[in-house]
Amino acid sequence: MLSADQCRALRCLAELMIPASAEYGVPSAGDETIFNDILHSLGRDAEQVIAVLRSLDAMANGRFADLDRQRQEAIAARLRENGDEALAAVSRIVLQCYYRDDRVMRSLGLEPRPPFPKGFELEQGDWSLLDPVRARPRLYREVG
């Protein structure tokens, strides 16, 4: 769906958005597995993504992906300042793919699995917290 140049630009943008972190042991959003997921997840937002990539090239006066990192960061910062719906769509796609990656989920202490069928534990809580509310008079209005 995207041209090779557009793919390169999107990958640069994803890496700028979420770089790798040695501290947390996580890859960048431009990691091959995650980026392939991104490319397969454009779906109904593909046009918005392409619009953002065209904006990046226009702001770069050429190919955004060919710029050095410092200039890419400056253009991406400008893009974010002017943030619109199209950029929000790009962010959404990058984030939805990044935060379902097994390595990223494990780094957050999450099991890489869907919620169903195992579900999750939730503590019941202390219902004695309700005691002061139980002591209150009726709040609702009686209607004759």
Binding residues for another protein, rule: CB under 8 A, are 16-19, 21, 23-24, 26, 41, 43-44, 73, 76, 80, 88, 91-92, 95-100, 104-105, 108, 110, 112-127, 129-130, 132-134, 136-143
DSSP letter (8 states) at residue 26 = B
Tokens found for residue 51: 């619009």
- 70 CB neighbour count, 10 Å cutoff: 8
Q: Please, which residues have CB within 8 angstroms of residue 107's CB and are 6 or more apart in sequence?
A: 24, 25, 26
- 48 CB neighbour count, 10 Å cutoff: 19
Collapsing DSSP to helix, strand or coil, 84 comes out as: coil
Select from 56, 78, 77 the least CA-distant residue to 67. Answer: 56
CB of 79 to another protein, least distance (A): 10
DSSP letter (8 states) at residue 108 = T
Which CB sits closer to another protein, 4 or 125? 125
CB of 11 to another protein, least distance (A): 15
CB of 24 to another protein, least distance (A): 5
Which CB sits closer to another protein, 82 or 114? 114
CB of 5 to another protein, least distance (A): 22
Which CB sits closer to another protein, 4 or 130? 130
